[in-house]
Structure 1
């Protein structure tokens, strides 16, 4: 049986335009800096927040937020 690996949250800082939806939808993991750009409190997404992370990724208007599985 393979263990589930935690997803990681990533921000494409070049694509990000600072809309702030990610911090609004996922305040447990994302907060905004003084210019309104997202900063990750932690990159690992706890299992209890995976659905919230997916919703934040889907809501990003410039597709600058993504989740990924760590390499094996």
Structure 2
């Protein structure tokens, strides 16, 4: 088991979706995962933000973030 820290410093949907996706994959494989928002990434801490905006690949932050929240993955700001 490894420890992962995923950082998100951008406010765009592509960066957020990938950050949440990679964190989701690592956690689901049994690794210890933490996420940290900085700079424009802190905009993703706003619960009123639209997490359903699609990326070019058709997925969105809402495909991955609920799993992380339900499994108590720490998210720091």
TM over 0.5: no
Larger helix percent? 2
Larger strand percent? 1
TM, length-normalised to structure 2 = 0.28
TM, length-normalised to structure 1 = 0.30
Larger radius of gyration: 1
